[in-house]
Chain A
């Protein structure tokens, strides 16, 4: 079955540590996205990528980094510079038709908790 997988489902981090969240898709989509979800705030865009080896900052990129070395993979690193990293992180992908009508498909999410 085609889809998006995120791992791990739950992640615990000590303050000062960097952690990497995995996102893999087998939908052959060009575009991939990372969102952060906090209660009562909806989803906010962290980073997005339209093509391999290229990515752009979203609205809240500070304290995060990404890479896009393969079309199917878009890992997110939460660095120690992120002051409040506890949140639910969602990865998404879409066919990039060059318009803004594309449907984004979401993974099941990773819940990160800083201890």
Chain B
């Protein structure tokens, strides 16, 4: 069974600093990979996803993530944090070629941004 590990339930950064949120997956076959963001008391919104092709994926709001097969990782980064980036971030995987998407989510990382 596939699983996702997000290291750090909370990450704190200063405004303008680099954001790095870690995600590792466990799967015998590389899955499709997703990052979602959740603002307080709201649903989730897709930031970016990796399916095939270029391993560096750019998403919305200046975020990007790099798929590294050798490290089974899909870490999310942003060069300069904004106060508006404060939210909870979820990494998720979906097995390839199952004919239907069934997302498996990590436990989430809450990003705190201080002035």
Q: Footprint of B on A, CB under 8 Å? A: 4, 31, 40-45, 48, 50, 58, 90, 92, 94, 96, 98-109, 111
A101, B43: Cβ atoms closer than 8 Å: no
Closest to B43 in A: A106
How many residues of chain B have a CB within 8 Å of chain A? 28
Q: Give the distance in Å from the alpha carbon of A103 to the alpha carbon of B92 in the complex.
A: 11
Which residues of the other chain, A, contact B101 by a CB distance below 8 angstroms? 31, 94, 99-102, 104
Residues 12-52 of B, flagged 1 when their CB comes within 8 A of A and 0 if not, give 00000000000000000001101010000111111001010
Verify B100–A31 contact, CB threshold 8 A.
Answer: yes
Contacting residues, chain A, for B42 (C-beta < 8 A): 108-109
Residues of chain B within 8 A (CB-CB) of A43 are 44, 90, 103, 105
Beyond A43-B44, A101-B32, list 10 extra A-B contacts (CB 8 Å): A31-B101, A42-B90, A42-B105, A48-B102, A92-B44, A100-B94, A100-B97, A101-B94, A103-B46, A108-B43
